[in-house]
Amino acid sequence: MSERLQQSIEERYKSVLAQIPAGVKLVAVSKFHPVSLIKEVYDAGQRVFGESRVKELLDKERCLPDDIQWHFIGHLQTNKVRQIIGKTALIESVDSERLLILIDEESRKKGIVTDVLLQLHVALEETKFGMSEDELIDFLASGKYEVLSNVRLRGLMTMATNTEDMDRVKKDFATASRVFRKVKEQYKDSLPLWDTLSMGMSGDWPLAVEEGANTIRIGSSIFGEREY
Ligand SMILES: *Cc1c(COP(=O)(O)O)cnc(C)c1O
């Protein structure tokens, strides 16, 4: 055994937190990690956690404290919307008009309003989910969102291209930031709560913050590598 002390989860969490500028919200991405580790980060003060699967979020939500704010960050299948409504502080990954309409319907049935982000697709990979810039702008221009009174559009979430090429990553974040600000300006009357730009993960969050992210989603720098 090496004498070198392993950093505890709490230490990792605190060191991440110490690097994040004031005004930037940290979502601790706990997907694939057990409740016991989430509890350690919770005990260190964190209240916002991100999960990418419905069942996993619901299982964890049941056995962790009520004051946790759960962010859903994965692809949300339409047949699972009903189960998750009322359990999230923010659904970050609304990637289609159809999904948004469904979230609105299910929220109305439960008599609540659900905060959501639209997921913008800027990465080069086709595999990533999200609306293209054109789709998103066309959707907002249609005004269809205005009748959806049980969802609140709070902003954008995006993932950069998965590459070592940091110029490309920076370009992706700059694109998302431009779209975010354009919508904020053009829709300041109809979308007064448009305030959240969620981008940046363990490997690229400083660039995201440079480009204007005010919410970042960090998993492995806090919890360690995931075992899928
Ligand atoms: C898993 C995930 C993250 C966190 O990724 P890390 O590299 O572990 O920090 C952030 N955002 C989304 C959408 C994810 O799926």
Residue 134 φ then ψ, to 5° = -60, -45
Measuring CA to CA, which residue among 33, 28, 31 is closest to residue 46? 28
> If you take atom 11 of ligand 1, which residue's CA is the nearest one?
217
7 or 116, which is more confident? Answer: 116
- Residue 37 Cα to ligand 1 midpoint, Å, equals 17
Q: Which residues pair with 216 in a beta bridge?
A: 26
Cβ of 29 less than 6 Å from ligand 1: yes
Cβ of 160 less than 6 Å from ligand 1: no
Please report the pLDDT score of residue 4 as a whole number. 52
Mutate to test the pocket of ligand 1, among 72, 201, 205 (most ligand atoms within 8 A of CB): 201
Please report the pLDDT score of residue 5 as a whole number. 60
- Residue 29 Cα to ligand 1 midpoint, Å, equals 6
The H or E element containing residue 24 is none
Cβ of 33 less than 6 Å from ligand 1: no
pLDDT one-digit tens code per residue, 24-64: 999 999 999 999 999 999 999 999 999 999 999 999 999 99
- Residue 185 Cα to ligand 1 midpoint, Å, equals 29
Q: Residue 227 above 80 pLDDT? A: no
Q: Residue 78 above 70 pLDDT? A: yes
Q: Residue 2 above 80 pLDDT? A: no
Cβ of 218 less than 6 Å from ligand 1: yes
Instruction: List the alpha helices (DSSP H) in the chain.
Output: 9-19, 35-43, 54-63, 81-84, 97-109, 133-142, 166-186, 205-210, 220-223
User: In angstroms, rounded to a whole number, what is the distance separating the alpha carbons of residues 10 and 98?
Assistant: 40
Q: Residue 137 above 70 pLDDT? A: yes
